[in-house]
Structure 1
Amino acid sequence: MRTDLAFHLAALPVAPDPASLRPALEALREIGYDRAVLPPLDPTTTDARALGRAFRDAGVEPVAMVGLAPGQDVSSTDPDERAAGRAALLAAVEFAAALGADQLNGVPYGLFGKPGTVPDAGAFHRSAREVGLVADRAADRGVHLTFEVLNRYEQGLVNTAAQAMDYVAASGSAHLGIHLDTFHMGIEESDLAAAVRTALPRLRYLELGQSGRGDLGTGAIDVAGVLEAALTAGYRGRVGVEAFSRRLLPSPVADALAIWRSPYDDGLALARSAVRLIRAVTDRFDVPSMQS
């Protein structure tokens, strides 16, 4: 089975500029990746078209990411703050389109960070309505908006696959997709395979990450088992790989993600190991791949 594979560039890491990106992208292509995921970038200060050319020259497709800054919370009771969040999301959509990305992942539904209180139903529905409108606009630009389900220490609005499906329903959008990550699922889900099946109707990105944020084969999560369960259930969308090592990250990024240790030193070696693990599973499925 030919799988549509993506690798998060923060695992290498590499500076998001064309000169730095191209050799890293070429190396990922040779290893077997079809796509590379950029971190959230500022649309006002980043040359999306120049980055897009670097991706095209390397023969790798981009996946963009979005996050909201303070004052841009689309779940807020303040209509001005929600409007600012909506504008930021729409700017990210335009950035993704200019980059040549057909998928925009990330956390569009609220602010990243441990919530201080239990999010209320009003916040959930305010956020969903705003994000649903943006997802519809994104579809018009040829971009699939896909939101990542995070663990309780990074967000409080959507932590499980079941909540993600409720969020999609509340959004009213036929275009909004779900991004599941085995790292977060390992914290929040009692049955990871069942969670994948729950989200399957809207699952657009299945990300493989280990409990310790390192090599996919070393940790508490049965990454191969989750992937096999997803494929058995009929998932044929994109599969991503994510890992983080403090030694390879800028300190502010490592601090924000609570990456205190360095589980690996060579991001490309980790990328190769991940491909071997993934292919050991996908080679048992003799069915055509369906890209999102």
Structure 2
Amino acid sequence: MNFGINTYLFSSPFTNESVKFFPKFKEWGFDFVEIALEEPELIDPVLIRKALDANALECRSVCAATGPGRDLRGNRKEQVTSIEYIQKLIDFAPVLGSKLVAGPIYSSVGRADLVPEEKYKKQWKLVVKNLQLLTAYAQEHDVKLAIEPLNRYETDFINTCEQAMQLIHDVGSDALVVHLDSFHMNLEEKDPALAIQKAGEKLGLLHASGSDRGTPGGDQINWDRIFAALDHINYQGDIVIESFTPDVKVIAKAASIWRQIEPSKEAIAIDGLKFLRSVAF
């Protein structure tokens, strides 16, 4: 397994200036960086790739930020905006060295409402159609898309691995996989370990975050069972620490981080990586 760090912990939005964090990521022992790319126009992907290479790091995944206005089940303008944004991430990913674009790309984060079943079915068909277009584009660029179930407070559309697997089935593309997150699974899955087993070979990425959005290992999640399940499916993919602090204000508000959960963002990165490596091997 390879272990990475999501840039949200240190920078939002990610810009060319954010490469200043790369030397520390390498010093702390991370294998790669997951770049959370909110606004593609703020970066020069060639420059970012050179900075990664200079620090002997990879970008193995690009994390999508589908905020307001980016919604594959929204109005026509929101759909077009979202499709164009995700296509831009697909364009940038290979330049950065990545073959994976991940996140809740199916909907705008924060859109959560109890809708009639018929309306939900119409939204589902719309997302399937749009993802079929995007997966075809991804395949042309040798990139995969990984859809992430979110907790009930952040979306009403895909909350569980089972729902994500159904969406993958309906889209019918090998370019679509599932992206699971320990924080969201802790809220929504009856058993996160069984969810991992359900994903099986379709598991394209795992985000590791404490049950309080803090350091993996310093929380109530049964990490032994998580890693036993990963071993059961012979997972050889990537694990990314995605935790948050109030220091990055935009993300703190989006993720409802109202207090200092851990001593520092550096502590989350260093202690979290040490713990994950200890339990993985």
TM-score, scaled to structure 1: 0.87
Alignment of 1:117-132 (within 5 A): 117-118=114-115, 120-132=120-132
| 1:146 Cα offset (Å) | 1.1
Determine which of 86, 89, 98 is the counterpart of 2:83.
Answer: 86
* Mean CA deviation greater in 149-158 or 83-92: 83-92
- In the other structure, the counterpart of 1:199 is 199
- AA aligned to 2:37 is P
- In the other structure, the counterpart of 2:262 is 264
Determine which of 37, 40, 46 is the counterpart of 1:40.
Answer: 37
Matching of residue 27 in structure 1 with residue 21 in structure 2 = no
Matching of residue 245 in structure 1 with residue 242 in structure 2 = no
- In the other structure, the counterpart of 1:286 is none
- In the other structure, the counterpart of 1:56 is 53
Q: How many residues align?
A: 277
2:217 and 2:276 in contact (8 A); partners too: no
- In the other structure, the counterpart of 1:102 is 99
TM-score, scaled to structure 2: 0.90
- AA aligned to 2:160 is T
- In the other structure, the counterpart of 1:289 is none
Q: Distance in 2 between matches of 1:16 and 1:86?
A: 20
| 1:123 Cα offset (Å) | 0.8
Determine which of 243, 253, 256 is the counterpart of 1:255.
Answer: 253
Q: Distance in 2 between matches of 1:168 and 1:15?
A: 29
| 1:112 Cα offset (Å) | 0.6
Alignment of 1:171-190 (within 5 A): 171-190=171-190
Deviations 1:19-51 (A, max 9, x none): 5424x2222223321111222331233222212
1:210 and 1:223 in contact (8 A); partners too: no
Determine which of 57, 65, 69 is the counterpart of 1:67.
Answer: 65
Q: Distance in 2 between matches of 1:97 and 1:66?
A: 15
Q: In percent, how many aligned pairs have the same letter?
A: 26
Q: Distance in 2 between matches of 1:182 and 1:44?
A: 30
Deviations 1:80-110 (A, max 9, x none): 5433322222122112233332221122101
Matching of residue 5 in structure 1 with residue 6 in structure 2 = no
Matching of residue 275 in structure 1 with residue 273 in structure 2 = yes
| 1:181 Cα offset (Å) | 0.3
Task: Report SS of the residue matched to 1:179.
Answer: strand
Q: Distance in 1 between matches of 2:128 and 2:17?
A: 38
- In the other structure, the counterpart of 1:157 is 157
| 1:114 Cα offset (Å) | 4.1
1:104 and 1:146 in contact (8 A); partners too: yes
| 1:67 Cα offset (Å) | 2.8
- In the other structure, the counterpart of 1:287 is none
Root mean square deviation, CA, Å: 2.0
Q: Distance in 1 between matches of 2:201 and 2:101?
A: 18
Q: Distance in 2 between matches of 1:92 and 1:238?
A: 19
- In the other structure, the counterpart of 1:288 is none
